[in-house]
Amino acid sequence: MLKRKAFAGVFVIFLSVLVMVGCSSDEEANSSSGGDKTIEFMHLWPEGSSAQHNKIVSDIIKDFESEHDGVTIDLEVLSNEQYKDKLKVLSTSNELPDVGMTWAAGFLEPYVDGEMFTPLDDLLEGDLNDSFVSGTAEAYEIDGSTYGLPLELNIATVFYNKAIFDQYGLEAPATYEELQQVVKTLNENDVAPIALGNKDRWTGSLWYMYLADRIGGAEVLTNAINRSGSFEDPALVEAADKVQELVDMDSFVKGFNGLSDEEAKSMFMNEQAAMYLIATWDLPNYTTNEDVPQEFRDSVGYFPFPTVEGEGDMNSFVGGPGVGLFVAEDSEVKEEAKEFASFFVQEWGEKSVTEAGVIPATKVDAGSLDLPDMYVDVLDDLNEATNITLFADVQMSADVAQVHLDMIQSLFGTEISPEDFAKEHEEALSAE
Amino acid sequence: MGRIGYIILYFCLGLVALFQIFPIIWLFLFSLKDNKEIFSGSPFALPAEFRWENYVKVWEGGIGLYFWNSIWITGIAIILTVLLASMATFVITRMHWKLSKLVLGLFMIGLMIPIHSAIIPLFSMFLNVELIDNPWSIVITYTAYNLPITMMILLGFYYTLPREIEEAAIIDGCSIHRMFFRIILPMTMPVMSTTVIINMIYNWNEFVFVNTFISSDKYKTLTVGIQNFIGQYMTDWGAIGATLIISVVPILLAFLFFSNKVVEGISSSAIKG
Amino acid sequence: MNKVMSNKWIIALYVLPALLLIAVLIFIPLILTGYYGLMDWNGIATMEFIGLENYINAIQDAKFWESALHSFLLALFSTLSLLVYLAISLILASKIKGSDLLRKIYLIPMLLSSVAIAQLWIKVFNPSNGMLNSILMALGVDNPPAWLAEPSIVLYAIFIPILWQYAGFYILIYYAALKNIPEPLVEAARIDGATPLQIAYKIKLPLIMSVFKVTIVLAIVGSLKYFDLIYVMTGGGPNGASEVMASYMYKLAFSSNEFGYGSAIGFLLLIITLIVTVIVRKATATKEEIQY
The CATH number for B91's domain is 1.10.3720.10
Burial class (CB in 10 A: 0-12, 13-18, 19+), C48: exposed
Summarised one tens digit per residue, pLDDT across range A235-274 is 999 999 999 999 999 999 999 999 988 889 888 988 899 9
User: Cα Rg for chain A, rounded, in angstroms?
Assistant: 25
| Per-residue confidence band for B271, with pLDDT thresholds at 50, 70 and 90 | very low
pLDDT of residue A269: 87
Residues B41 and C129 sit within 8 Å (Cβ to Cβ): no
Instruction: Please report, for chain C, how many H helices and E strands are present, in that order.
Output: 15, 2
A316 φ/ψ angles, rounded to the nearest 5 degrees: -95, 130
Of B238 and A140, the structure prediction assigns the larger pLDDT to A140
C83 touches chain B (CB under 8 A): no
pLDDT of residue A22: 46
pLDDT of residue A343: 94
Please report whether residue B218 resides in a domain. Answer: yes
Summarised one tens digit per residue, pLDDT across range A22-53 is 444 444 443 444 468 899 999 988 876 677 88
Residues of A with CB under 8 A from a CB of B: 2-3, 6-7, 9-10, 13, 17, 20-21, 24-25, 28-29, 46-51, 76-80, 82, 85-86, 89-90, 92-93, 95, 262, 265-267, 269-270, 272, 285, 291-292
Query: Where among A332, A364, A396 does a domain terminate?
Result: A364
pLDDT, mean of residues B151-177: 86
Least Cα separation, residue A315 to chain C (angstroms): 33
Yes or no, beta carbons of C256 and A92 under 8 Å apart = no
Kindly identify which residue of chain A lies nearest to residue C125, measuring between CA atoms.
Answer: A258
Shared domain for A116 and A128, answered yes or no, is: yes
Please report whether residue A225 resides in a domain. Answer: yes
CATH number at residue A60: 3.40.190.10
Kindly identify which residue of chain A lies nearest to residue B133, measuring between CA atoms.
Answer: A28
Shared domain for A406 and A301, answered yes or no, is: yes
Shared domain for A275 and A312, answered yes or no, is: yes
pLDDT, mean of residues B172-191: 88
Please report whether residue A262 resides in a domain. Answer: yes
Yes or no, beta carbons of A199 and C43 under 8 Å apart = no
Shared domain for A136 and A184, answered yes or no, is: no
Q: Give mean pLDDT in consecutive 10-residue pieces for chain A, a chain of 432 residues.
A: 49 50 44 68 82 89 92 89 90 92 91 93 88 87 93 94 95 95 95 95 96 93 93 95 96 94 87 94 85 89 92 90 92 93 91 86 79 88 89 92 95 95 95 84
Please report whether residue A112 resides in a domain. Answer: yes
Shared domain for A179 and A119, answered yes or no, is: no
CA pair distance C223, C242, nearest whole angstrom? 13
Please report whether residue A415 resides in a domain. Answer: yes
pLDDT at B267 over 50: no
Shared domain for A334 and A284, answered yes or no, is: no
List chain A residues with CB under 8 Å of B224: 82
Residues of C with CB under 8 A from a CB of A: 13, 17, 42-46, 122, 125-129, 146-151, 154, 234-235, 237-240, 251, 253-259
Please report whether residue B12 resides in a domain. Answer: no
pTM equals 0.90
Yes or no, beta carbons of C238 and A258 under 8 Å apart = yes
Residues A321 and A409 sit within 8 Å (Cβ to Cβ): no
Residues B127 and A95 sit within 8 Å (Cβ to Cβ): yes
Kindly identify which residue of chain B lies nearest to residue A41, measuring between CA atoms.
Answer: B215
Shared domain for A167 and A309, answered yes or no, is: yes
C5-13: list long-range contacts, CB under 8 Å, 24+ apart.
C5/B94, C5/B95, C5/B96, C5/B166, C5/B170, C5/B176, C6/B95, C6/B96, C6/B97, C7/B95, C7/B176, C8/B97, C10/B91, C10/B95, C10/B176, C10/B177, C11/B91, C11/B95, C11/B97, C13/A7, C13/A10
- Angle (nearest 5°) at CA B64 between C230 and C162: 15
Please report whether residue B208 resides in a domain. Answer: yes
Please report whether residue B10 resides in a domain. Answer: no
List chain C residues with CB under 8 Å of B20: 105-106, 108-109, 164, 167-168
Shared domain for A355 and A414, answered yes or no, is: no
Query: Which residue range is the domain that position A204 belongs to?
Result: 155-319+388-430
| Per-residue confidence band for B42, with pLDDT thresholds at 50, 70 and 90 | low
pLDDT of residue A32: 43
Low-confidence ranges of chain C (pLDDT < 70): 1-2, 287-292
Residues C180 and B191 sit within 8 Å (Cβ to Cβ): yes
This complex has an ipTM of 0.89
List chain A residues with CB under 8 Å of C151: 413, 415
Q: How many domains does chain A have?
A: 2
CATH fold for domain C62-291? MetI-like fold (1.10.3720)
Query: Which residue range is the domain that position B123 belongs to?
Result: 54-272
Shared domain for A142 and A173, answered yes or no, is: no
pLDDT at B3 over 90: no
- Angle (nearest 5°) at CA A148 between A218 and A340: 145
Q: Where are the domains of chain C?
A: 62-291
A269 touches chain C (CB under 8 A): no
Tally the residues of chain C. Answer: 292
pLDDT of residue C1: 55
CA pair distance C202, C189, nearest whole angstrom? 10
pLDDT of residue B24: 79
Q: How many domains does chain B have?
A: 1
| Per-residue confidence band for B107, with pLDDT thresholds at 50, 70 and 90 | very high
Please report whether residue A94 resides in a domain. Answer: yes
pLDDT of residue B269: 45
pLDDT, mean of residues B196-224: 89
A319 φ/ψ angles, rounded to the nearest 5 degrees: 170, -140
Summarised one tens digit per residue, pLDDT across range C45-91 is 888 999 999 999 999 999 999 999 999 999 999 999 999 999 999 99
List chain C residues with CB under 8 Å of A398: 42, 255-257
